[in-house]
Structure 1
Amino acid sequence: MTNVNIQTEHIIAYLEGRLSKEDTDAFEKQMLDSPELRKEVDDLRFICDTSQMLYIQERIDVNKRWKNISRTLQQNRFRQKIGHYFRYAAAILLIPALIGSVYFYQRAYRSDNQPIEQVELSSAYGLISKITLPDGSEVWLNSGSKLHYPKRFVGDQRKVFLSGEAYFKVSSDKKHRFDVALTNGLTVSAYGTEFNINAYEDDDEIETTLAKGSVEIRNDKKPIPRVLNPGEQAIYNKVTDNMKVSDINLYMVTSWKEGKIVFRRTEMAEIAQRLSRHFNVNIILQSKKIFNYKYSATFTTETLEEILQLLEKTAPIKCTMIEPEQASDYSYTRRTVIIEAR
């Protein structure tokens, strides 16, 4: 027993580093030759290490600490599983995302580098057409008119080309000017307003009438634009290259977009021109005296024949209708109306 105690004390002294170098070497040599001694040394080392932590362990809530450790281990395992799942899911989703990105990039690249498709809208004779432009602006096209515009607006401007008559209700955009290009280098510009333009190619004059807001009329030949106020009309003469501005009856100018034909002390020459354009007929005035006749009337659903009959009742004139004839190429001529004095 005494030998055991001495042996145990000797092991403890070794573990605590209290043996001399010679005794330590001899003891370690002895451990190499004796597995039993090595086991006893390991057991005592464990006991010593555990004894040093007894005080700390006595102050620790072991159950609580174990629960915390167990919860942490479970959370770590859960995070690892979630991490593996998301990495796997991300790898799966990344492929279509990359494909989609490449597709939309190529599509946008092609869209930006390809020419913008142009649209031309024509309003048939006797009809009024209404369209909505890419920016939300609304346009009414009168009989026999054409509007040319891009399928989408790009850059700083919104530009359209008009031949004929149209009423514009421009969507407001202070950063992008709205331009209506006409013949003879004339351009009507606005940022958000309502106006009417009468610019048929076979007329000598171009009329711009402002209903709301403000517009500028620019001429390529003149640096200073003309600005209109609501209720004003600018008449540009193609022959003289001059422009005059005056007040106008808005109802008489813009009522056509509601399907009405309004005359207010209008001369026969203008009446013939407007009826000819609306009904797609040729009207011939055979007497100079007829040019001095003036009419005031409002027509809505009346046919050409009914309008001519009403004109005959209010003035000493006679209207003769010549029906279309078939030409050698199987096409038909337009109807012709001859108006002469009685």
Structure 2
Amino acid sequence: MSINKYWILKAKQLNNAATPDELSELSLLSACMDADTRVDNGLHNIWHAQSYTSNELDRERWMMLLSARVPEISLQQPEVLSVKTRRSRKLVFLISLIIISLLTAGGALFFHFIRPVPAHEISAIRGTKTRATLPDGSVVNLNAGSRLLYQNDYGQKERHLLLSGEAFFDVSRIPDVPFAVTTGNITLRAYGSSSFNLCAYPEDNNISASLTEGCIQLIYMQPQGNTSVVLQSGQKIILHKDPQHPGMYQAQWSQIKHSAGEIQESAWKDNMLVVENERFEHLATRLERWYDVKIIFNNSLLRQLTFSSVSKGKNVQEMLSVLSRNSGKFSYIYNPTAKTVTIYAK
């Protein structure tokens, strides 16, 4: 894995210039690096600080040391410095300082954190869903815009997966071979035969796990430190990203919901849309992934519409027609060439 690639994507994220696909890749690279979350949080906090000062001599010293210790990241790399702004220069210096601090404090320990690049990938691009059987017999359904990675030695001593996006897992029971899914800095462990849904799109403001059968453990960060919780069948946890503490979460517990015989949290794998009091702007994000379209509201008030329904549609027109008929408050225009849907009030 290229260390440089990670920092380039990190720079784009801090500049709010990363695309959803780049955020997805950054999430997976972060899991591969297995780096200390405090380092990432420290960079985020300094970057967003109101003021920052450093002198030219300090910057020159740090960059010379960086170039000597980590040739992959140097002043000669135009891709890092291509954005000619004060913030990009500050980022180069801050990244240099953090990497050198890691090298100085831990030496080779920094590179010890870097895992081999996963050898296998299962993906579902926007507008598609994918179902696959893993080498251990476990079955995974991937929702649109999702990626799942694993190593060649999967199933030997452990079963470790990296997820970006949303997936439903039916885990096969294999004693003494633990099953774990990592997404960003969150790890989920399954025990015995378990069925669960994990939704973790990097661009979303929350991550959710819902357990249909079995037992799972979730390990995540809170301001007071690492937290480990156990879910039993029928339970759901939503981890809301803490805007004041990047990389940390606040938990909200609930039960999985049933509507018209469908489990709301995992109905997507059967091409069903089950919503309860969901705002149109949030629902639109899901539909954009499912059907690979861009939804545009020409009236901001329409974003606040809420829906409670069970719907099924082969394409975005069928799905929106059902929602439009149920609400009676909006119509839409679909442009198949541009892949856009414009929502307007009736």
TM-score, normalised to structure 1, is 0.59
Task: Quickly say closer, same or farther: Cα 1:248–1:288, change in 2 above 3 A.
Answer: farther
Residues 176-221 of structure 1 show CA distances to partners (whole Å, capped at 9, x for unaligned) of 22110002x1011112211000111111111101111111110256
Contact kept? 1:134, 1:151, Cα under 8 Å: no
1:223 aligns with 2:235: no
2:328 aligned partner? 315
1:203 aligns with 2:204: yes
Q: Secondary structure at the match of 2:269?
A: helix
Task: Quickly say closer, same or farther: Cα 1:117–1:278, change in 2 above 3 A.
Answer: closer
1:186 aligns with 2:186: yes
Which is higher, the Rg of structure 1 or of structure 2? 1
2:130 aligned partner? 129
Q: Secondary structure at the match of 2:265?
A: helix
Contact kept? 1:134, 1:152, Cα under 8 Å: no
Contact kept? 2:126, 2:291, Cα under 8 Å: yes
Contact kept? 1:116, 1:152, Cα under 8 Å: no
% same residue: 30
The separation in 1 between residues aligned to 2:227 and 2:324, in whole angstroms, is 47
1:279 aligns with 2:287: no
1:141 aligned partner? 142
Matched positions, count? 218
Following TM superposition, the consecutive aligned residue runs of length 4 or more in structure 1 with deviations greater than 3 angstroms are 220-224, 322-325
2:343 to 333, 339, 342: 339
The separation in 2 between residues aligned to 1:263 and 1:237, in whole angstroms, is 19
Give the gaps of 5 or more residues in structure 1.
Answer: 1-114, 326-334
Letter in 1 for 2:254: S
2:306 aligned partner? 294
Contact kept? 1:261, 1:300, Cα under 8 Å: yes
Letter in 1 for 2:256: I
Question: What RMSD, in angstroms, separates the aligned Cα atoms of the two structures?
Answer: 2.2
Letter in 1 for 2:324: E
Task: Quickly say closer, same or farther: Cα 1:199–1:170, change in 2 above 3 A.
Answer: same
Contact kept? 2:295, 2:341, Cα under 8 Å: yes
The separation in 2 between residues aligned to 1:205 and 1:316, in whole angstroms, is 29
Q: For residues 262-273 of structure 1, what are the structure 2 equivalents within 5 Å? A: 262-273=274-285
1:252 aligns with 2:264: yes
The separation in 1 between residues aligned to 2:191 and 2:209, in whole angstroms, is 16
Q: Secondary structure at the match of 1:214?
A: strand
Name whichever structure is richer in helix by fraction: 1
The separation in 2 between residues aligned to 1:323 and 1:128, in whole angstroms, is 20
The separation in 2 between residues aligned to 1:287 and 1:260, in whole angstroms, is 27
1:243 aligns with 2:251: yes
The separation in 1 between residues aligned to 2:242 and 2:296, in whole angstroms, is 23
Letter in 2 for 1:306: E
Q: For residues 55-134 of structure 1, what are the structure 2 equivalents within 5 Å? A: 118-134=119-135
Contact kept? 2:136, 2:155, Cα under 8 Å: no
Task: Quickly say closer, same or farther: Cα 1:249–1:152, change in 2 above 3 A.
Answer: same
